[in-house]
């Protein structure tokens, strides 16, 4: 799922960035201060967590034409991925222009365009939602040991459907019921002496779509 989200973001950016701009998945590095800057947008995935928005419970059952359960499917889950988005260019003004283009491309809607999603994400039938982290990237620059620069934090809520459970017990072909005959009118316990009372036994066998006597 992480690789598919990376790909979706890169596709969304590739549509709008100026020719010659590259999209990288690199973290910021101290060597940026001395390297000759190239024209690039960097997407640094620094956090991954569960997302409880819209979480459902229970199982979905997949049945055949006869009504037999073929598999059970857990409800979809969501994961929240946090990216630090930075720009690199020869001039600060150019960096700001790149960052502005990236910001609009990734947050112009509540979710990424379906045309940007790889098949794995499309097949879930659920949107890949995006938003800006209001906390911003300030704490990240301190953790990375770098001076602050223009950037934003993008949060992506991506869906995932667990694989269905197909290892199910086969349906019962027959059911045997055995019941002891009661004693007395009050349902008292059986006597401890004397001949035993025969049990009543009945068998149900599967017929057609159901289980009938």
Residue 66 lies in a domain: yes
Same domain, 191 and 130: no
Determine contact, residues 150/126, Cβ cutoff 8 Å: no
Distance CA 104, CA 15 (A): 12
Same domain, 150 and 183: no
Same domain, 34 and 107: yes
186 has pLDDT over 70: no
Same domain, 71 and 95: yes
Residue 211's pLDDT band (cuts 50, 70, 90): very low
- The mean predicted confidence, pLDDT, of the chain is 80
Residue 128 lies in a domain: yes
Same domain, 26 and 61: yes
Tell me the β-bridge partners of 155: 82, 131
3 has pLDDT over 50: yes
Residue 168 lies in a domain: no
pLDDT value at residue 113: 96
Residue 167 lies in a domain: no
Average pLDDT of the residues in 98-124:
95
Residue 141 lies in a domain: yes
The single-letter DSSP state of residue 14 is: H
Same domain, 95 and 183: no
pLDDT value at residue 37: 73
Distance CA 42, CA 113 (A): 20
Angle at CA 17, nearest 5°, toward 15 and 18? 120
Distance CA 48, CA 2 (A): 9
Angle separating helix axes 2-14 and 92-107, nearest 10 degrees: 120
pLDDT value at residue 143: 87
Same domain, 154 and 206: no
The single-letter DSSP state of residue 90 is: S
23 has pLDDT over 60: yes
Average pLDDT of the residues in 77-82:
94
163 has pLDDT over 80: no
pLDDT in tens, 116-149: 999 999 988 999 999 999 999 988 988 888 888 8
Same domain, 122 and 204: no
Same domain, 149 and 179: no
188 has pLDDT over 70: no
Determine contact, residues 182/209, Cβ cutoff 8 Å: no
How many CA atoms lie within 13 Å of 149's alpha carbon, on the beta-carbon side?
22
Same domain, 69 and 140: yes
Q: Which residue in this structure is represented by tokens 């659920």?
A: 126
184: containing domain: 174-212
Residue 210's pLDDT band (cuts 50, 70, 90): very low
The single-letter DSSP state of residue 169 is: P
Residue 166 lies in a domain: no
State the total domains in the chain: 2
Residue 38's pLDDT band (cuts 50, 70, 90): confident
CATH for 11? 3.30.2000
Residue 169 lies in a domain: no
Spatial neighbors of 175 by CB under 8 A, at least 6 apart, are: 203, 204, 211
The overall pTM is greater than 0.95: no
Same domain, 208 and 129: no
Same domain, 204 and 147: no
């Amino acid at each position: 799922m992480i690789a598919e989200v990376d790909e979706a973001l890169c596709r969304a950016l590739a549509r709008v960035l100026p020719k010659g701009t590259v999209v990288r998945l690199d973290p910021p590095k101290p060597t940026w201060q001395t390297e000759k800057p190239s024209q690039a947008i960097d997407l640094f995935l620094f956090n991954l967590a569960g997302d409880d928005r819209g979480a459902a419970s229970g199982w979905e059952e997949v049945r055949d034409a006869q009504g037999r359960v073929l598999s059970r499917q857990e409800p979809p889950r969501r994961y929240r991925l946090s990216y630090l988005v930075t720009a690199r260019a020869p001039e600060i003004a150019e960096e700001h222009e790149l960052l502005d283009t990236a910001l609009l491309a990734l947050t112009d809607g509540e979710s990424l365009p379906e045309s940007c999603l790889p098949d794995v994400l499309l097949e879930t039938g659920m949107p890949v939602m995006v938003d800006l982290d209001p906390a911003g990237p300030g704490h990240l620059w301190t953790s990375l040991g770098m001076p602050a620069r223009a950037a934003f934090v993008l949060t992506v809520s991506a869906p995932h459907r667990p694989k269905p459970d197909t290892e199910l017990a086969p349906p019962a072909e027959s059911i045997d019921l055995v019941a002891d005959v009661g004693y007395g009118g009050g349902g008292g316990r059986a006597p401890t002496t004397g001949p035993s009372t025969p049990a009543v036994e009945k068998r149900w066998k599967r017929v057609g779509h159901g289980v009938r006597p």
